[in-house]
Chain A
Amino acid sequence: MSERDPAAPRWWAAPRTGGLATLALIIALTPFALANNYFYDVAILVGLNAIVCVGLNLLIGYAGQISLGHAGFFGLGAYGSALLASRYGMPPLAALAATTAAVALVALLVGRPILRLKGHYLAMATLGLGIIISIVLANEDGITGGPDGMPVPPLTVLGWTVQGEQVWYWVIGGCLLLAVWLALNLIESPTGRALRALHTSEVAAEVVGIDSARQKLKVFVISAVFAAIAGGLTAFYSGFITPEKASFMRSVELVTMVVFGGMASTFGAVVGAAVLTILPQALTVVKEYEMVVLGAIMMATMIFFPRGAVPTIGAWLARRSR
């Protein structure tokens, strides 16, 4: 067999083996720190946000394409699953699958013209797309229940109903592991290398034969699918959804999680989701200062650690060990 490449990290330090094992260990051990159902609830929200962020990071961090509208896909996933399961009596998992397929199709259709845009124009277009979705969800009250939201039936799989925070915790934990595993594999695949190439320079990437439009579209659809699945799961878990879940501020939250954790770092996306999901919960103690503190933290981390938490800490550790 071939010799080990001396530059490659050992198995325990490589993301696809050691990183994934560490994440699995953290997910397995976290319940010891969860004192009651409220803590479980927060942990589940962390997991759901992390799934969206892992997908969004592929788009923003690796392909370098910003989206300020991914809450729209999240909202479509949530409402689609809820409507198919409640109004049309579809089995919840089938509803989730059908919705995800539909969202993938939507992303495919709108992605083609939108991804031709660059930089701030792309930000505007995705923002507009997200706002259009959230306004439609809020206005079609005959179908979606309007701004007040709508109830969602529970998730049943082959007659077994997933209920209770402690059961959901393991379901979401498993989904998160799967999402991270898929993302890590994609990054190591030719697609991942193509994405990094076009992030550096789209023209240079095309010169070496990368169909950049196709690669960007592919990752856009993948990230939309991650968001839609997380949206559907959120709907089934919480049993109630509102258009708030698809709002512009929600899109901003998601992007902030990705950038905070560190762009082009899958585990960074998970850390970002964890910190920025837990932080507002902790800040409810100082209710009236919540926005001021949150805004200040967003600004300060981006000014002092523009590369995000995980890459900054990683670089610091690397310097220490040298």
Chain B
Amino acid sequence: MDGQWLQFLASGLTAGSIYALVALGFSIIFNASRVINFAQGEFVMIGGMSAVSLTATGMPMPVAIVGAVLIAGVVGLLLERFAVGRARKADVVTLIIITIGASIFLRGLAQLVWDKRIHALPPLTGDRPIEFFGATILPQSLWVIGVTVAIVAVLFWFFNRTLLGKAMLATSYNRMAAQLVGIEVRTVLFASFGLAAALGAIAGVLIAPITFTSYDTGIMLGLKGFAAAILGGLGSFPGAIVGGLLLGLLESLGAGYVSSAYKDVIAFVIILAVLFVRPDGILGALKSERV
């Protein structure tokens, strides 16, 4: 009985890590372009599905993972170059429709390239559950949480220590000023789509052994990632991580203690409640409207 809440905590953190990675992708693209990329979930799907296909050709797992992340990254870059980047002056609703169109397009493409069936990816290190104070934890869960922590550390280094990372941050603070000090805003935009896609793909590869993957897994994961980014405060990286973990925990505890059929309802009701109290998310900066 004691292990129960630990069990929920573990599954909540696992799902939450994935949401955090997707939410980081949302925030990175939003910071560079003020666009909400509703195709973010499709990067997760492309990552998972590509890894399945590449391992099926006999590639060793690490190579397949790198390949899957690269494929998703290229799709992200193409999406920026041929769709979003071409409609920069369009208004918010128009941009939302473009990225939703892109997500439908990519889902349709995935249906053609692969199929409509559900695929499983073998876990990174076996599937013997680990006993831990009465809770049973899948080794893959530890991978998910561990890799997410590592990625957050790498991102921290990237945004604080590298020139491109700093340029991306500068652009998010003030696009015009960034341009004036010689930052190539176009490159930043391009890079942010690549980076967001790669993060999505890593999430897809990590979660595929646990929840499986198919051409339509991106819809719900994309929405959850968006919800997490909003919950934490859109554009805030710490916010994305907090939002993701919180959403994962809410879902897992809601499913465990209240009703599994209503876990998404519980999560969304709480998100709405948070937004009513804090209209800019938990860690979002309260902004006043410019006239």
Give A200 Cβ to nearest chain B Cβ, in Å. Answer: 11
Within 8 A of A (CB), among B94-128: 94-98, 100-109, 111-112
A256 with B265: CB separation less than 8 A: no
Docked pose: A40 CA to B269 CA in angstroms:
40
A139 with B261: CB separation less than 8 A: yes
Give A280 Cβ to nearest chain B Cβ, in Å. Answer: 11
B173 at the interface (CB under 8 A from A): no
User: Chain A contacts of B264 at CB under 8 A?
Assistant: 131, 135
A295 with B98: CB separation less than 8 A: no
For B257-276 the 0/1 string (1 means CB < 8 A from A) is 00001101100110110011
**Interface residue tally of chain B, by bracket?**
35 or more
Q: Is the interface of A mostly helix, strand, loop or mixed?
A: helix
> Which of B49-57, B206-214, B226-234 contacts the other chain?
B226-234
B108 with A294: CB separation less than 8 A: yes
A120 at the interface (CB under 8 A from B): yes
Choose among A114, A118, A201, A302 the residue that contacts B87 (Cβ–Cβ < 8 A): A302
Docked pose: A127 CA to B262 CA in angstroms:
16
**Interface residue tally of chain A, by bracket?**
35 or more
A204 at the interface (CB under 8 A from B): yes
B98 with A303: CB separation less than 8 A: yes
Q: With A121-B279, A123-B36, A131-B268 in contact, is A299–B94 under 8 Å at CB?
A: no
User: Chain B contacts of A91 at CB under 8 A?
Assistant: none
A294 with B104: CB separation less than 8 A: yes
Q: With A121-B279, A128-B272, A204-B291 in contact, is A295–B104 under 8 Å at CB?
A: yes
B111 with A291: CB separation less than 8 A: yes
How many cross-chain pairs have Cβ atoms below 8 Å apart between A and B? Answer: 135
A298 with B272: CB separation less than 8 A: no
Docked pose: A288 CA to B268 CA in angstroms:
33
User: Chain B contacts of A179 at CB under 8 A?
Assistant: none
Choose among A60, A124, A263 the residue that contacts B227 (Cβ–Cβ < 8 A): A124
Docked pose: A202 CA to B187 CA in angstroms:
34
Docked pose: A119 CA to B287 CA in angstroms:
13
Q: With A259-B97, A298-B100 in contact, is A291–B107 under 8 Å at CB?
A: yes
A132 with B269: CB separation less than 8 A: yes
The residue of chain B having its C-beta at the shortest distance from the C-beta of A116 within the complex is B279
A120 with B291: CB separation less than 8 A: no
Docked pose: A121 CA to B268 CA in angstroms:
13
The residue of chain A having its C-beta at the shortest distance from the C-beta of B276 within the complex is A113
Choose among A117, A202, A256 the residue that contacts B275 (Cβ–Cβ < 8 A): A117
Q: Is the interface of B mostly helix, strand, loop or mixed?
A: helix
A136 with B93: CB separation less than 8 A: no
A306 at the interface (CB under 8 A from B): yes
The residue of chain B having its C-beta at the shortest distance from the C-beta of A138 within the complex is B261
User: Chain A contacts of B101 at CB under 8 A?
Assistant: 256, 294-299, 302
Docked pose: A256 CA to B219 CA in angstroms:
17
A23 at the interface (CB under 8 A from B): no
Give 26 A-B contacts (CB < 8 Å), ordered by A residue.
A60-B93, A116-B276, A120-B30, A120-B92, A120-B234, A121-B234, A121-B279, A123-B36, A123-B96, A124-B271, A125-B275, A131-B223, A132-B265, A135-B262, A139-B262, A203-B291, A255-B93, A255-B97, A259-B97, A291-B104, A292-B108, A298-B97, A302-B95, A303-B87, A303-B98, A306-B94
Q: Please report B residues at the A interface, Cβ cutoff 8 Å.
A: 30, 36, 83, 86-87, 89-98, 100-109, 111-112, 219, 223, 226-227, 230, 234, 261-262, 264-265, 268-269, 271-272, 275-276, 279-281, 289, 291
Q: 8 closest Cβ contacts across the A-B interface?
A: A291-B108, A295-B105, A298-B101, A295-B104, A292-B108, A128-B268, A299-B101, A306-B90
Q: Please report A residues at the B interface, Cβ cutoff 8 Å.
A: 60, 66, 113-114, 116-121, 123-125, 127-129, 131-132, 135-136, 139, 201-204, 248-249, 252, 255-256, 259-260, 263, 288-299, 302-303, 306
